[in-house]
Chains A and B, each alone.
Chain A
Amino acid sequence: MSEAPPTIIVVDDDISIRESLEGLLRSVGFQVRLFGSVAEFLAGKLPEGPCCLILDVRLPGQSGLDLQTELARADIRLPIVFITGHGDIPMSVRAMKAGAVEFLSKPFREQDLLDSLAVGVARDRARREAEAAAAELTRKFEALTPRERQVLGLVATGRLNKQIAGEIGVSEITVKVHRGQVMRKMGARSVADLVRMADRLGLAPDGP
């Protein structure tokens, strides 16, 4: 997890809006990136750390809603706060249904904007952490020996050491040793912890 402040990406064709947002967002400690069109935004690179998108609904060329659809299709899960200068009620419904964080009419209250950005950034951070944790878990799992993986799988299904020993044809002691190794390598604090990890890895118990 980076220590750098979250980044807010602003896509709005109106320079007054862009620059005013930049001033406000920097004053509360965000990093800010400004884009005048969807095309410009798509040409750039996404920031490393947690971020949130402020998107104008009506843009020349590709609209904000189009971008939302496109990002979803490309599985880029950026939280989006929409802003609009028109009373776009039907659009707001569509945007919210498609998972937008918030839909604000210009001029918006500063607190409404900052609150929704906080929600967006938190969402993004949680997603990133979950993804990082999942990656870490996979990495640890891949470091196990085949025998250890087998033991982990059986532990996950709730088998006792004795049962496992019988099933894979080794002594109960050996099972205990393997299990201790698995716990250590996976960094599990308890058997319950280990079962949760197995679950997240998709080693679903295939029966009671």
Chain B
Amino acid sequence: MELDGRADTPGDDGMLRAAADALTDTEAELRRLNWALAAYGRSSSALIHFQTLDDLVASICGAIIAQEEYVIAAVGLAESDPGKPVRLLAGAGPALAYLDGINLSWDESRPEGNGPTGRAVRSGESLIIRDALTEPLFAPWRERARPFGIRSSVTVPFRRDGRVVGVILVYASRPHAFGAKELELFSELGSELAFAMSVAEDRAQLKAAEAARLTAEDAAREAQAELARAGRLLSVGEFASSIAHEINQPVAAIITNGDAALRWLARDPPDLDEVRAAIERMSRDAKRASGVVARTRGLLAKSRTDDAPLDVNEVAEEVLLYTADERRRSQVSVSTDLASGLPLVRGDRIQLQQVMLNLILNGMDAMKGVNDRPRLLQVRSMLRAEGEVLVEVEDCGVGLDPATSNRLFEHFFTTKDGGVGLGLPISRSIVEAHGGRLWAGPASAHGAVFRFCLPVAAFAAA
């Protein structure tokens, strides 16, 4: 590189030499600056992409020793307790073995704590050994350093939250290798390192928090599934069979108690205490059975039990979600066309879910034997002019049988093998208890459409 004007300027030899010296100095300075920028640049990308702190430090040290005259670059961490040694995190360079077995410490009361590292950590100031052969401070390590060709070094402390937490150590093969520029670069790397340390810690904490969150989420999901199982909607079939069982148990017990009472009575002489005990059990069990009946009536009551503003779309979506597994098993797909911005209706969410569930299960049942067309269930909602929300459930199944279609809503009317014949009558009574209507009709091509409408909340009697 030439500096225009200077080289051409006439003058004496001295001036020329001075100019030439200045030129080499400037060239060296520029080269160093380039290196510094490169080292810093490489480190910065490392700073962004580092996986572990050790990797990061190793790559920074590697970047530093790219400058040939540097024979060691290393990073040591200082704990807040001076009694603990300064631990080398990573290092690089051809003379790295020099550090093997050296005790780095910042404990003032020990000889090894009074070298460059100890002083730098204690004072928080960088410390330069300009010439390893003459600097008194370096005397204890001089002989050890000689075979490694170490002639100068710099120790640059870095801080986190005001406290010195570590040092960057760089050794060079020529004396006077470290100037203000280098110090500035290393200090900058030091503060980046400190920052990376906190990032690494944050990440570890984040990871732990994430793990904790996942565990908590698992637990929550478990609890939710449990809740769904406990309070889940029952299809009418399940409902009826569970009620049948609930009533059957005490009835069976009553019969057996009756048999027992008769036998105790038939003894000679009759054992009246036993007879009395059996009759007491009978009366207890009869009460239990009638309790089940009363509760069932309550469940199927014509009066709705809850009265809250409801979005029918939400109700529909909940039941669709609830029946997703069942649909997958029966290979039924669903298309929904739920009007947005529907006004709310008032009522009992569980009961209306029950209605949706009955209609959807019936639609799926009706499509069981369908193999020549996709088993598609359509669920629609819309606003009707009369201040009513209309919901439609359409299937493409067997369709309504004209011979029996007027009996669909009769109690216990069923055409299915395992049917109970309560789904539709219960659904109709629920809808009517909400001030609405439920009716059936044929679908356009195949199958049936069941429709129900409910008054929007503003119109519903409070």
Contacts and interface: CB of A to CB of B under 8 A. Distances in A.
A148 B256 CA distance: 58
A24 B259 contact: yes
Given A16-B285, A106-B248, A24 B253 contact: no
Given A16-B288, A27-B264, A21 B256 contact: yes
Contacts of B256: 17, 20-21, 23-24, 107, 110
Prevailing SS type, chain A contact patch? helix
Contacts of A19: 253, 257, 281
A23 B252 contact: no
Given A16-B284, A16-B288, A23 B277 contact: yes
Interface in B266-282: 267, 271, 274, 277-278, 281
Contacts of A16: 249-250, 253, 281, 284-285, 288
A24 B256 CA distance: 7
Contacts, number: 68
Contact of A24 (B263, B267, B271, B285): B263
Contacts of B281: 16, 19-20, 23
Contact of B252 (A26, A27, A28, A85): A85
Interface string A76-92: 00000000011000000
B250 A23 contact: no
Contacts of B263: 24, 27-28
B260 A23 contact: yes
B253 to A, nearest CB: 4
Nearest to B245: A85
A16 to B, nearest CB: 4
B241 interface: yes
A14 B277 CA distance: 18
A23 B255 CA distance: 12
A16 B253 CA distance: 6
B254 interface: yes
Given A27-B260, A27-B274, A20 B245 contact: no
B251 interface: yes
A85 B247 CA distance: 10
Contact of A17 (B249, B259, B264, B267): B249
A1 to B, nearest CB: 26
B260 A107 contact: no
B241 A24 contact: no
A106 B274 CA distance: 23
A135 B446 CA distance: 75
Q: Which 5 A-B pairs have the closest CB atoms?
A: A106-B252, A16-B253, A107-B252, A23-B260, A20-B256
